[in-house]
Amino acid sequence: MRRHLPLFVFAALTLVRISYGQGRDDGSFYSRYGIGELSAFASSQAQALGGAGAGLFSYDYMNFSNPAAWSRQTLVRIAVGAQFDQLRAEDASGRSEQFTRGALNALQIGVPLIGGKLGLGLSYEPYSRMNYEVSTSGTLEQGSNTELSYQLNHEGSGGLHLARIGMGFRLLPQISIGASTDFLFGITEEVRRTTFRNEDLLATNVVRSTRMSGVTASAGITASFDGENHELVLAASGRLPVTVNATQTRTLGESLNVDTLGTSSSGDLKFPYRLSGGVSFRYQNRWLLTAEIQHEPWSTASTTLSFAGFDSNHLRNRTRYSAGIELIPAGAVMQAAYLGRTAYRLGFYRDNLYVSPVAGRDIMVSAITGGVGLPTMFLGSRLDISFEIGTRGSTSYNLIRDRFIGVSATLNIGERWFVKRRLG
């Protein structure tokens, strides 16, 4: 298996390159507000189960919803994947546009330091994405009887990324704990481009670029109760509030040329804590049920810099509900037929955005998720294909309704390392 790792690493880097080569200025209108759309990826298994990962305990997957789950590792694990979304945005008048984008899901690495008791976890994943393009047009009075037509384009790209390193430890046979250090960093760029029909007037660009970084920590605990044919897991996890340091620069230019306007300004953004509670129930290694509730009080967030909607009137407390079910017909029987060893998953989630264009009103997100976990020729490795179909927002209050379909592919590699070979 190890001779295939260079090929796997090359494929992982190719996926990262593809995901960053796409997805600019072609996402949801709602990513214009705050720091963009929030994103999270616990594992490809949890993703197909509505994202309900806090209570998932698995030997086959790294679970970055809860660092306590890293204690059960027995194989070195590497997971990398990409997601491709198709989005259709519609306004109250019935006008609609369609977009396609691609993005990295996550790069995850798990190492069992003491098999089944102490595990190391590392990950790199998106935290927020800003990718939108909004256009408006109008006229200006030019003299007594003439008008000057113009078009105003608002574009945004970039976002924050999250890198984590931590450990999970099996404190007692039933109790596991874990903690991680979480690094937030990234750049957002927002462009306001004005063009005129009069060819004698040059287009103008105003660009606001913000570089951000901060450090926080996460922790979790799980309690598992085993029976002859079942396992019940209760779990909780959380992330501490974080102050993100930021430097914001405004530039101004004509046409495609941009010159610095004024000086950079420094400030900070304060993000709230995150709490999650979850439960999972596994029966005969065939059936798995999982559910999770997640809460983030974004109404307490603040910033000293300029971000659209990042104020007390538009920030909303975020609560996310998710649940899912998984079936592996053959259970743990490795000699069964291929379809019997395949994992079949279905889930859902309901969420509200942390920032709203309309003061005092929640923007709701609802989706159905699902997918399959396909066995490979290598024991302990799977190719997971997942999907989600849902809606975001509504056409009330002159807003936009997004209908989206997402498909992702994640390769999970598992292998025994650091084990001395025995002769004889």
Give the tokens for residue 397. Answer: 């209050």
Of the pLDDT bands very low, low, confident and very high (cuts 50, 70, 90), residue 11 is very low
pLDDT digit string (tens) for 60-115? 898 999 999 999 888 999 999 999 999 999 988 888 888 888 888 899 999 999 98
Distance of CA 49 to the CA centre of its chain: 15
Amino acid residing at 110:
G
pLDDT digit string (tens) for 387-419? 999 999 998 888 899 999 999 999 999 887 755
**Residue 1 scores a pLDDT above 60:** no
Query: What pLDDT shows up at residue 14?
Result: 44
Q: Could you tell me the CA-to-CA distances from 107 to 9, 80, 123, 235 in Å, in that order?
A: 11, 5, 6, 24
Query: What pLDDT shows up at residue 92?
Result: 84
Dump strand ranges (E) for 255-396.
259-260, 265-271, 274-283, 287-296, 302-303, 318-327, 343-352, 364-375, 382-392
Query: What pLDDT shows up at residue 6?
Result: 43
Query: What pLDDT shows up at residue 255?
Result: 56
d(CA 75, CA 192) in angstroms, rounded, equals 50
Helices (H), 231-375: 338-341
3-state SS class at 379 = coil
Stretch among 108-112, 134-138, 321-325 having the lowest mean pLDDT: 134-138
Query: What pLDDT shows up at residue 420?
Result: 54
Q: Where are the domains of the chain?
A: 2-415
**Residue 423 scores a pLDDT above 70:** no
Of the pLDDT bands very low, low, confident and very high (cuts 50, 70, 90), residue 57 is confident
Of the pLDDT bands very low, low, confident and very high (cuts 50, 70, 90), residue 9 is very low
Tell me what the mean pLDDT of segment 293-304 comes to.
96
Q: Which residue has the higher pLDDT, 13 or 411?
A: 411
Stretch among 13-17, 158-162, 282-286 having the lowest mean pLDDT: 13-17
Q: Which residue has the higher pLDDT, 397 or 322?
A: 322
Of 415, 278, 301, give the one whose Cα is nearest residue 349: 278
Tell me what the mean pLDDT of segment 277-304 comes to.
96
Q: Which residue has the higher pLDDT, 5 or 210?
A: 210
Query: What pLDDT shows up at residue 56?
Result: 92
Query: What pLDDT shows up at residue 5?
Result: 44
Cβ 238 vs Cβ 219: under 8 Å:
yes
| Fold held by 2-415 | Porin (2.40.160)
**Residue 26 scores a pLDDT above 70:** no
Q: Could you tell me the CA-to-CA distances from 121 to 61, 79, 124, 148, 188 in Å, in that order?
A: 11, 12, 11, 59, 28
d(CA 279, CA 281) in angstroms, rounded, equals 7
- Beta-strand relationship, 318-327 and 343-352: antiparallel
How does 322-343 read in b/e, with b if 16+ C-beta sit within 10 Å?
bbbbbebebeeeeeeeeeebbb
Of the pLDDT bands very low, low, confident and very high (cuts 50, 70, 90), residue 380 is confident
Q: Which residue has the higher pLDDT, 415 or 338?
A: 338
Q: How many CB atoms lie within 10 A of CB 265?
A: 14
Four-CA torsion 45, 49, 54, 57, nearest 10 degrees: -50
Cβ 26 vs Cβ 99: under 8 Å:
yes
Cβ 348 vs Cβ 376: under 8 Å:
no
Percent of the chain with pLDDT over 90: 61
Q: How many residues does the chain have?
A: 424
Tell me what the mean pLDDT of segment 288-317 comes to.
94
Query: What pLDDT shows up at residue 379?
Result: 80
**Residue 2 scores a pLDDT above 70:** no
Q: What is the DSSP letter of 92?
A: T
Q: What is the DSSP string of 246-265?
A: EEEEEEEEETT--EE-S--E
Angle at 37 between CA 167 and CA 234, to 5 degrees: 40
3-state SS class at 200 = coil
Tell me what the mean pLDDT of segment 124-131 comes to.
93
**Residue 126 scores a pLDDT above 90:** yes
**Residue 229 scores a pLDDT above 60:** yes
Q: What is the DSSP letter of 312?
A: T
Cβ 52 vs Cβ 290: under 8 Å:
yes
Tell me what the mean pLDDT of segment 31-43 comes to.
93
Residues facing 283 on adjacent strands: 230, 287
Cβ 341 vs Cβ 65: under 8 Å:
no
- Average pLDDT in the chain: 87
